[in-house]
């Protein structure tokens, strides 16, 4: 466990020095601040517009961080040739991959809390109060990006950073749509496409499990089952992906 923590800590520090991270955080700050421009055209819905725009921006920038940084963490080890020094140490493949995974997730958590803190400050300034019900989104985002972190690490084990970045984005967006596609196929009786939709629904990560933004923005109740499902689904799926990733990493040739 100490080896995993050491690798995670090193990965976190290296990611903090990444200029892409700083650029994304600054961009996130600007976009969160820009939510105010929607108030004059929202006809009495200013509070809901700001909250919906804010939580959506946090999610988008977290996705970008995972895409641009998470898909490069293994490639950077090869590029800097630090992979060879790691290979000479008594570190198992699972420990190395797990360390990279947790290091990236630690970064995701830190940035997520920073963005939410900025967002809460803006809601306090614009709306005169902080809507603490929005913290429910924070809970679901923690497990949503745990899973996306695992997806990015998994893809980076056998593809280039560019390819894994594109695939990470595609899987994220498809994972949010498969639930609706499944319902659409049933409603329109498109039996010819049902096998494809079912394959995507059951094999790809189902990110719609974590989508509670409408409920939070409009203060609708969230069932305890939704909290439990988000937790268990993310942990189980991520564990499977990390185990497969460690196997793929062990088969990779660097020489």
- At 195-245, the pLDDT tens digits run 677 777 778 898 989 999 888 888 889 999 999 999 999 999 999 999 999
**What distance in Å separates the CA atoms of residue 209 and residue 198, rounded to the nearest whole number?**
16
Cβ atoms of residues 104 and 66 within 8 Å: yes
Fill in the DSSP letter of residue 158: T
Question: pLDDT band at 25, cuts 50/70/90?
Answer: low
pLDDT, averaged across the chain: 80
Indicate the burial class of 66 (C-beta count within 10 angstroms; 0-12, 13-18, 19 or more). buried
Candidate ranges 25-34, 38-47, 112-121; pick with highest mean pLDDT:
112-121
Whether 6 shows a pLDDT value over 90: the answer reads no
Residue 220: Cβ within 10 Å count? 10
The arithmetic mean of pLDDT across residues 71-86, rounded, is 68
Would you say residue 140 has pLDDT above 90? yes
Per-residue model confidence (pLDDT) at position 41: 46
Is the predicted pLDDT of residue 13 greater than 80, yes or no? no
Q: Is the pLDDT of residue 26 over 50?
A: yes
With CA atoms as reference, report the closest residue to 59 among 169, 152, 158: 169
What is the distance between the alpha carbons of residues 104 and 99, in angstroms, rounded to a whole number? Answer: 9
Reported confidence tier of residue 105, pLDDT bands at 50, 70, 90: very high
User: What pLDDT score was predicted for residue 255?
Assistant: 46
Among the residue ranges 40-44, 110-114, 207-211, the one predicted with the least confidence is: 40-44
CA 123 distance to own-chain centroid: 23
In this structure, the chain runs to a length of 255
Q: Quick one: three-class SS letters along 170-237? A: HHHHHHHHHHHHHHHHHHHCCHHHHHHHHHHHHHCCCHHHHCCHHHHHCCCCCCHHHHHHHHHHHHHH
User: In the predicted model, is pLDDT for residue 15 greater than 50?
Assistant: yes
Is residue 112 within 8 A of residue 141, CB to CB? The reply is yes
Q: Lowest-confidence range among 34-38, 134-138, 150-154, 226-230?
A: 34-38
More confident residue, 9 or 136: 136
| pLDDT of 134 above 90 | no
13: left (phi over 0), alpha (psi -120 to 50) or beta: alpha
Q: How confident is the model at residue 86 (pLDDT cuts 50, 70, 90)?
A: low
How far are the Cα atoms of 56, 112, 202 from residue 21, in angstroms, in the given order? 18, 12, 33
The mean pLDDT of 180-199, rounded to a whole number, is 67
Q: What is the arithmetic mean of pLDDT over 143-166?
A: 90
Q: CA-CA distance, 241 to 58, in Å (whole number)?
A: 25
Higher pLDDT, 131 or 210: 210
Of all residues in the chain, the percent with pLDDT exceeding 90 is 23
């Amino acid at each position: 466990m100490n080896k995993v923590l050491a690798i995670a800590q090193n990965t976190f520090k290296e990611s903090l020095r990444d200029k892409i991270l700083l650029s994304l955080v600054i961009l996130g700050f600007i976009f969160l601040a820009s939510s105010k421009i929607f108030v004059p055209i929202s006809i009495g819905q200013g509070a809901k517009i700001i909250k919906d725009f804010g939580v959506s921006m946090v999610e988008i920038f977290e996705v970008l961080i995972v895409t641009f940084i998470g898909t490069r963490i293994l490639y950077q080890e090869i590029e800097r040739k630090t992979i060879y020094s790691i290979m000479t140490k008594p570190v198992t493949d699972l420990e190395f991959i797990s360390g990279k995974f947790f290091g990236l997730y630690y970064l995701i958590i830190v940035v997520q809390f920073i963005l939410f803190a900025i967002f809460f400050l803006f809601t306090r300034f614009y709306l005169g109060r902080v809507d603490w019900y929005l913290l429910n989104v924070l809970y679901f985002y923690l497990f949503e990006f745990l899973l996306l972190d695992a997806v990015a690490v998994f893809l980076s084990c056998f593809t280039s950073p560019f390819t894994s970045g594109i695939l990470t984005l595609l899987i994220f967006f498809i994972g949010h749509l498969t639930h609706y596609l499944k319902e659409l196929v049933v409603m329109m009786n498109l039996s010819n496409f049902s096998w494809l939709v079912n394959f995507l629904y059951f094999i790809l990560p189902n990110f719609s499990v974590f989508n509670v933004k409408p409920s939070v923005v409009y203060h609708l109740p969230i069932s305890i089952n939704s909290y439990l499902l988000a937790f268990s689904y993310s942990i189980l799926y991520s564990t499977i992906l990390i185990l497969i990733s460690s196997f793929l990493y062990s088969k990779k040739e660097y020489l």
